[in-house]
């Protein structure tokens, strides 16, 4: 069996009993970063062997993992945080397993954008998760102009390095409407800011932005 296992986005207690059970029972855990995953495994006394599966080895390691599954091994896939396949190379391994008609299941759990959407208080009956916006400003602006015509709640991820520039572009495209910016979800310094983009920019500019951000418009 190939298990797609969601892991905490921050707080190590945000893991399901089933996920712990699966991670203990499988023959191998494929990790985006073994060093990161081993923090979680040590916390729960899980001694299952791990192997790396990341962007730059996804082709060679993918064939290796598929081979083990065909031999009858049970393998779990985890990302650094949250649900595998969402903005991480696990997507490639999942598709490779599908092409090889391998049995798989998903062990559900955390996803940062779901947490932020729930905390935002914005309409969630219809929303669009856009992942990370383009790094280059003009491409980012073009994408925002397309997305604002969807007429539903929009959710983005952003890094601490580009959060201020992205908020400037959101302000330019969407105006002074209230948005929500969530930072370090489930962690010690979790912060949820509900205000217009200009006010949030001023607040975040007081100190160097840190952590990972989710923006809800």
**pLDDT for 164:** 97
Q: How far apart are CA 79 and CA 4, in angstroms?
A: 9
**pLDDT for 113:** 96
**pLDDT for 27:** 98
What pLDDT tens digit does each residue of the chain (217 aa) get? 999 999 999 999 999 999 999 999 999 999 999 999 999 999 999 999 999 998 778 778 999 999 999 999 999 999 999 999 998 889 999 999 999 999 999 999 999 999 999 999 999 999 999 999 999 999 999 999 999 999 999 999 999 999 999 999 999 999 989 999 999 999 999 999 999 999 999 999 999 999 999 999 9
The sheet with strand 28-31 has its strands ordered as 50-52, 28-31, 75-78, 2-5, 104-107
């Amino acid at each position: 069996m190939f298990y797609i296992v969601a892991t905490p986005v921050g707080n190590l207690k945000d893991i399901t009993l089933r996920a712990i059970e699966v991670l203990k029972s499988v023959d191998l855990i494929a990790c985006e970063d073994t060093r990161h995953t081993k923090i979680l495994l040590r916390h729960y006394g899980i001694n299952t062997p791990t192997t790396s599966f990341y962007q730059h080895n996804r082709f060679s390691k993918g064939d290796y993992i598929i081979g083990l599954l065909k031999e009858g091994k049970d393998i779990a896939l985890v990302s650094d945080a949250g649900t595998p396949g969402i903005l991480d190379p696990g997507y490639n391994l999942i598709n490779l397993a599908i092409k090889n008609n391998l049995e798989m299941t998903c062990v559900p759990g955390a996803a940062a954008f779901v947490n932020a959407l729930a905390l935002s208080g914005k309409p969630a009956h219809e929303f669009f998760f856009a992942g990370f916006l383009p790094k280059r400003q003009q491409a980012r602006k073009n994408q925002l102009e397309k997305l604002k015509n969807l007429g539903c709640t929009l959710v983005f991820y952003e890094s601490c390095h580009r959060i201020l520039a992205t908020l400037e572009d959101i302000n330019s495209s969407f105006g002074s409407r209230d948005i929500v910016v969530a930072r370090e979800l489930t962690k010690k310094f979790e912060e949820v800011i509900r205000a217009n983009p200009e006010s949030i920019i001023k607040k975040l500019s007081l100190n160097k932005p840190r952590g990972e951000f989710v923006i809800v418009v």
